[in-house]
Amino acid sequence: SQQGEEDPQALSIQEGENATMNCSYKTSINNLQWYRQNSGRGLVHLILIRSNEREKHSGRLRVTLDTSKKSSSLLITASRAADTASYFCATDSNDYKLSFGAGTTVTVRA
């Protein structure tokens, strides 16, 4: 069964706006990762946050992790057309096997 669930399923925003998506999971984790998938392509790793971290930044990306609520959020600031993609959270629960959610599809309108 899948560990992570993203919310919302789909998101449409104007270029320049911020995009926020959330991920909830069920069991304790070593780390949580976010991946991006452009249409018809493989997944690309964006950012990893460890279970003892609460917030992490990478360029225009900000990830938070709340282990007490078993949830994470990904914020993309100042969105661009190139950010149009599907975004997946994946959890590693101490066995090196990543468990993925169903993803959030983000559309950035020009």
Partner 1 sequence: NAGVTQTPKFQVLKTGQSMTLQCAQDMNHEYMSWYRQDPGMGLRLIHYSVGAGITDQGEVPNGYNVSRSTTEDFPLRLLSAAPSQTSVYFCASSDPGRWNTEAFFGQGTRLTVV
Q: Is 24 in the site for partner 1 (CB under 8 A)?
A: no
Q: Whose Cβ is closer to partner 1: residue 10's or residue 78's? A: 10
Residue selected from 8, 10, 18, 45 as contacting partner 1 according to rule CB under 8 A: 45
- Per CB under 8 A, 1 contacts partner 1: yes
Q: Is 71 in the site for partner 1 (CB under 8 A)?
A: no
Our finding on whether 22 is near partner 1 (CB under 8 A) is no
The footprint of partner 1 on this chain (CB under 8 A) covers a number of residues equal to: 26
What tokens does 3 get? 């560990």
Q: Helix, strand or coil for residue 3?
A: coil
Euclidean distance between CA atoms 96 and 10, whole angstroms:
28
Q: DSSP class of residue 28?
A: -
> Does 48 participate in binding partner 1 (rule CB under 8 A)?
yes
DSSP state of 8: -
Q: Give the distance, in angstroms, between the CA of residue 3 and the centroid of all CA atoms in the same chain.
A: 13
